[in-house]
Amino acid sequence: METNRLTKIASSAIRRRGGKVHLIGIAGSGMSALAVLFKESGWNVTGSDANSFEPIPTYLQKNKIFFYKKYDAKNIPKNVDLVIMGNNIPLALKENPEKKFVIRSGVPIQSLPEALAMLSKDTENIVVAGSSGKSTCATLLAWCLFKAKKDPSYFIGALPLDLKHSSHLGSGKDFVLEGDEYTSAKDDRRSKFLHFYPASVLLTSVTHDHINIFPTEKSYKAPYKKLVAKIPQHGLLVYSLEGKNNKEISKYAKSKKVSYSLSNKKPARHGGADYYAQNIKFGLQSSFDLLYQGKKIATIKTKLLGKHNIENIIGVAALLLENKKITPKVFAEAVNSFHGIQNRIELLSKNSTIPVYAGLGSSYEKARSIFDAMHLHFPKKRLIAVFEPHAFSWRNRKFLEWYRNIFDNVNEVVMLPTISRGKKAKGQLTTKEVWDAVKKYRNIHTAKSEKDALQIIKKIVKSSDVVALVSSGPMLGLTKSVPKLFAKKS
């Protein structure tokens, strides 16, 4: 793609606040956030997507962004200035008439990360990267900057519970970008975050993920090394000392480096973390003392659940305080008022005596953090998990070992079927193979439909239980029907 020429075209459209942009595959979390950024920039935004599910369609509707439910060349506006091609749309031209029309007509095309790089080229960019926690950290960073009256720009691949949108073009100099290591486009195998210009990077963990793109751990680490190497010498790398592979990755940064950890057993000068927590007290509102190299900075209170979220908060504190973008007092106030993002251990049953939480379980690490958080905050309750093996890795034979112990601390498990998308890919597991892999657990139940699952859940859940809905997909609609089920019981 001719990036320089496209940037000039797009920039001129922004200046006249009348450019037309069409997003093919608009109903993804990232593409919908990008659509809002374009709209705030003054563009006339349309889109299309043949495979959408809530909450994205409602989110686009609230932002008055129209999109077509089928791909058709007629959907492309006349005199369109720019087309954004999603990474998950059908690849073959015969499968996607819009893509076929755009390529033949010569309309300028960008990928999502190219468009983000264009919109964030002249700002001070904070890139949040890692195999887990990046959506929460990016959202908290943006929230804290708002509370500090900085009016930041931001892009988050999830829907925040406190911020109005998942993206925003602010008047401040900061631009918070959730950095995705996944490929940029069908014809651009670079990780998305390598298009960005980072002034600072917050690195959470580099635990091997996306086996379909990165077959080995070495290949997974490679783009992270390139990302931190892009930080200028006057910039900043903040990394979790407990995050897998982070020490190795940090060596490639030429900038200032600051580490953080949940706790600390030795001084920073002897290899310990710079920022860490003490006196952690867990509850529905947890609290801890934030320390920097042995000195207490502030007492922090948070509504977020789990040890991993305490660690996320410490990482955000390290980046903001090191860059002098916020005071400890304002930071503590911002964290105390922060509720997180949708589907990240989100309480769905606010009107029920049975707590029902939804969590993103796209990897072993993420699913385990959800179950650990439930046990930590509800130690006297039985844990009922409804699990959908939606993500590619959960359906890949190479990661079949994940099922050996993922449910060790779960009292009852309702297993949903695998999805059909990508079933022809190499090493894909069938629903039967996945279900057979978890048969060793005594309390395993299998459900082929929403109706089956609801019947099982109604039968096994007791009034003193806690329920966790774990997936990275639509879960047959259970995120809506399960809370309704227990609302009737309360």
Number of domains in the chain: 3
Q: What is the CATH number of the domain that holds 470?
A: 3.90.190.20
Q: Is the pLDDT of residue 354 over 50?
A: yes
User: pLDDT tens for residues 70-84?
Assistant: 999 999 999 999 999
Q: Is the pLDDT of residue 313 over 60?
A: yes
User: pLDDT tens for residues 216-236?
Assistant: 999 999 999 999 999 999 999
Q: What is the mean pLDDT of the chain?
A: 91
Instruction: Return the residue matching tokens 């990755």.
Output: 249
Whole-Å CA distances, 119 to 41, 180, 192, 306: 9, 17, 14, 34
Residues 273-291 have a mean pLDDT of: 96
Highest mean pLDDT among 81-90, 142-151, 402-411: 142-151
User: pLDDT tens for residues 356-396?
Assistant: 999 999 999 999 999 999 999 999 999 999 999 998 889 98
pLDDT of residue 12: 46
Residues 164-176 have a mean pLDDT of: 95
Banded model confidence at residue 246, pLDDT cuts 50, 70, 90: very high
What does the alpha-carbon distance between residue 241 and residue 143 come to, in Å, rounded to a whole number?
A: 24
Domain boundary among 319, 336, 353: 336
What does the alpha-carbon distance between residue 207 and residue 392 come to, in Å, rounded to a whole number?
A: 15
Q: Is the CB of residue 44 less than 8 Å from the CB of residue 61?
A: no
Banded model confidence at residue 18, pLDDT cuts 50, 70, 90: low
Banded model confidence at residue 171, pLDDT cuts 50, 70, 90: very high
pTM of this structure:
0.89
- Residue 419 is part of which domain span? 344-489
Q: What is the CATH number of the domain that holds 311?
A: 3.40.1190.10
Banded model confidence at residue 269, pLDDT cuts 50, 70, 90: confident
Residues 57-86 have a mean pLDDT of: 93
Domain boundary among 111, 140, 164: 111
Domain boundary among 111, 133, 168: 111
pLDDT of residue 22: 97
What does the alpha-carbon distance between residue 45 and residue 351 come to, in Å, rounded to a whole number?
A: 38
Claim to verify: residue 326 and residue 227 sit in the same structural domain: yes
Q: Is the pLDDT of residue 8 over 90?
A: no
pLDDT of residue 271: 85
Q: Which two tokens stand for residue 53?
A: 């599910």
Go through the chain and tell me how many residues it has.
490
pLDDT of residue 267: 81
Claim to verify: residue 202 and residue 292 sit in the same structural domain: yes
What does the alpha-carbon distance between residue 369 and residue 487 come to, in Å, rounded to a whole number?
A: 26
What does the alpha-carbon distance between residue 338 and residue 140 come to, in Å, rounded to a whole number?
A: 7
pLDDT of residue 2: 44
Query: How do beta strands 188-191 and 183-185 pair?
Result: antiparallel
